[in-house]
Amino acid sequence: MTAPIPALPAKIDPLVRAFLDSPGAVAAALDQFGSPVHLVFPQVFAENLAQFRSVLDHVLPRYRICYAHKANQSRAFVRTAARAGIAIDAASPQEVACAVAAGFGPQRVEVTGPKGEVFLRDLIDRGITINVDNLWELARIAELARTKVPVLLRVSGFDDGQVSRFGVPLGHVERAFELLSAHRDRIAFLGFAFHLDSGDTGERIRAIDACLALVEQAYGYGLTPSVLNIGGGYRQVFTADADQFDAYVHALRESLLGHGTPMSWGSNTFGYHVAGGAVHGIPVFHKYANTIPATKMLADLFTAPLERHGGRTVAEVASDNLLDIWLEPGKALVDHAGVTVAMVEFVKEIADGTVLVNLDLSRDSVTPADQEVMVDPVILPRSGGGETAPVGVYFAGRLCLERDLITNHKVWLAARPSPGDLVVFPNTGAYHMDLSAATASMRPPPIKLAVARHGGDFQVCLDADYEPELPIGPPQHQSTPRRSPRIPTQAP
């Protein structure tokens, strides 16, 4: 019996799969627009959003979804978000401009992240909600504001030993209270905000609990926060088969110890620490092991009991206190809504027999350099035929740099590819396509195209030209004038 071939099957959205399976469709797009390309699927984005809403509608009377624009530069996604009636989280002047051009009014834009003087002045002029990162920013807003500036206060440091470069540390919030209280005529304090990179529900619950305590404290300063912004960080599911993923990773770890066939390029250990005959640590690709969808994370979060509140759930406590919950999902809305397509230029063998498949793409267009894409690409052969024995390969990039390997782990293909074959990297929409893409060797980044299904047909256009045909979404749950909020004191 021979061991099964190690594989990392990718989960692929049915709409994306249908496009890839349409005979000649991908090749036609590349013939028209060139190679390589990023394909975005705004209808998949819209479907992710619909699923978010259906979970939140069940548990929360009031909420606001702010799409975190930085996950992808796609204008089609931003247009889709605008048309669907949600809000947007922008993190640069350029993202604000894109949002405004796509139809977002200032009431639907929130700005997070570090902001310098110039950006801050612009946001104040426009009346855009500022998610304040630090005390300098808050003091500067107080000095510059002429009319009431809507402000959220980002806080951080909920767990001991947890460091973040963002937000006001819990221990410094008192200074913020003093500023907010002293400048109530110029600052409309909406409430507290946090954002955790972690997918851990327990961590998120502790952060919510800490913010609820801050809400209580804020009343003591005459402030009446009405928003709790719990940020993003809802995870993606990349793999179609967790068992095969685990088996691949097991074989990879064995190979790092010198057992079995080599599976890594050069001296790459993927963040593992190999010592004393064992493999330790968490790999750079740990997100690919996730099997819990964002919607499940959300449902678990809002139905979790809060000890300090007599076991009432997060959703119940938020609603008891008339708090609007704001969320800033980025990757979860873009999950499965983008792929990257490149072409095989040539296949070569190096001295030890290792096979390299060279593409017209560079690594930074499919993944930030310090990470690793751990789902198998889909090969679309230009023509049939050729030998069909499985072959283990590394995908190499177009740059004249030793490090421009697109995969540092070995990928097994059903057959050795040929020049002209197309290679599709699944699920590159969130942070893979453009977060790190550079113009090394004067090569422009791949063109971005939007793909939409109308009836049985697919239409492909430049991302910038895409106009959504969505029905107008239900209006975002708006804040209503509120009675005096009540926060229960400690549970008996």
Ligand X SMILES: *Cc1c(COP(=O)(O)O)cnc(C)c1O
DSSP state string for 233-265 = -PPP--BS-HHHHHHHHHHHHHHHTT-SS--BS
Using the minimum distance from each CB to ligand X, give the nearer residue, 325 or 487.
325
Using the minimum distance from each CB to ligand X, give the nearer residue, 136 or 346.
136
Q: Which residues contact 241 (CB under 8 A, 6 or more apart)?
A: 7, 9
Using the minimum distance from each CB to ligand X, give the nearer residue, 166 or 221.
166
Q: Which residue in the set 232, 283, 377, 426 belongs to the binding site for ligand X (CB under 6 A)? A: 232
Does 328 sit near ligand X (CB under 6 A)? yes
Closest distance of CB 110 from ligand X, Å: 9
Does 52 sit near ligand X (CB under 6 A)? no
Contact pattern for ligand X over residues 128 through 167, marking x by CB under 6 A:
----------------------------------------
Does 204 sit near ligand X (CB under 6 A)? no
The residue range among 132-140, 225-233, 405-413, 416-424 that interacts with ligand X, by the rule CB under 6 A, is 225-233
Length of the chain: 492
Using the minimum distance from each CB to ligand X, give the nearer residue, 334 or 380.
334
Using the minimum distance from each CB to ligand X, give the nearer residue, 192 or 395.
192
Does 110 sit near ligand X (CB under 6 A)? no
Closest distance of CB 166 from ligand X, Å: 7
Amino acid sitting at position 439? T
The residue range among 68-76, 80-88, 137-145, 206-214 that interacts with ligand X, by the rule CB under 6 A, is 68-76
Contact 418, 456 (CB under 8 A): no
Closest distance of CB 67 from ligand X, Å: 9
Q: What is the enclosing helix (H) or strand (E) of 267?
A: none
Q: Which residues contact 155 (CB under 8 A, 6 or more apart)?
A: 167, 168, 169, 170, 173, 192, 193, 194, 210, 211, 214
Using the minimum distance from each CB to ligand X, give the nearer residue, 19 or 67.
67
Using the minimum distance from each CB to ligand X, give the nearer residue, 41 or 52.
52
Q: Is 2 helix (H, G, I), strand (E, B) or coil?
A: coil
Contact 363, 404 (CB under 8 A): yes
Q: How many residues bind ligand X (CB under 6 A)?
A: 16
Using the minimum distance from each CB to ligand X, give the nearer residue, 111 or 373.
111
Q: What is the enclosing helix (H) or strand (E) of 107?
A: none
Q: Which residue in the set 191, 330, 417, 429 belongs to the binding site for ligand X (CB under 6 A)? A: 330
Using the minimum distance from each CB to ligand X, give the nearer residue, 332 or 343.
332
Closest distance of CB 196 from ligand X, Å: 9
Closest distance of CB 114 from ligand X, Å: 10
Closest distance of CB 154 from ligand X, Å: 7
Closest distance of CB 488 from ligand X, Å: 28
CA atoms of 220 and 104, how far apart (whole Å) = 35
Closest distance of CB 199 from ligand X, Å: 9
Contact pattern for ligand X over residues 396 through 415, marking x by CB under 6 A:
--------------------
Does 68 sit near ligand X (CB under 6 A)? yes
DSSP state string for 293-354 = -HHHHHHHHHT-B-GGGTT-BHHHHHHHTTPEEEE--SHHHHTTSEEEEEEEEEEEE-TTS-
User: CA–CA distance from 436 to each of 72, 342, 362, 366 (Å)?
Assistant: 11, 17, 11, 9
The residue range among 5-13, 117-125, 167-175, 228-236 that interacts with ligand X, by the rule CB under 6 A, is 228-236
Percentages of the chain per state (helix, strand, coil), in multiples of 5: 35, 20, 45
**117 burial via Cβ count (<10 Å: 0-12, 13-18, 19+):** exposed
Does 332 sit near ligand X (CB under 6 A)? yes
The residue range among 214-222, 328-336, 388-396, 461-469 that interacts with ligand X, by the rule CB under 6 A, is 328-336
Using the minimum distance from each CB to ligand X, give the nearer residue, 110 or 404.
110
Q: Which residue in the set 195, 409, 432, 448 belongs to the binding site for ligand X (CB under 6 A)? A: 195
**Beta bridge pairs of residue 207:** none
Does 89 sit near ligand X (CB under 6 A)? yes
The residue range among 65-73, 268-276, 296-304, 419-427 that interacts with ligand X, by the rule CB under 6 A, is 65-73
User: CA–CA distance from 33 to each of 28, 185, 460 (Å)?
Assistant: 9, 54, 10
Closest distance of CB 4 from ligand X, Å: 33
Q: What is the enclosing helix (H) or strand (E) of 459?
A: strand 457-462
Q: Which residue in the set 73, 112, 264, 362 belongs to the binding site for ligand X (CB under 6 A)? A: 112
**Helices 294-302 and 201-220 sit at what angle, rounded to 10 degrees?**
50
Closest distance of CB 56 from ligand X, Å: 15
Q: Dihedral sign for Cα 437, 438, 440, 443, please.
A: positive
Contact 466, 458 (CB under 8 A): no
Q: What is the enclosing helix (H) or strand (E) of 409?
A: none
244 CB-side CA count, 13 A: 15
Report the interface residues with ligand X, using CB under 6 A.
Answer: 68, 70-71, 89, 112-113, 195, 231-234, 328-332
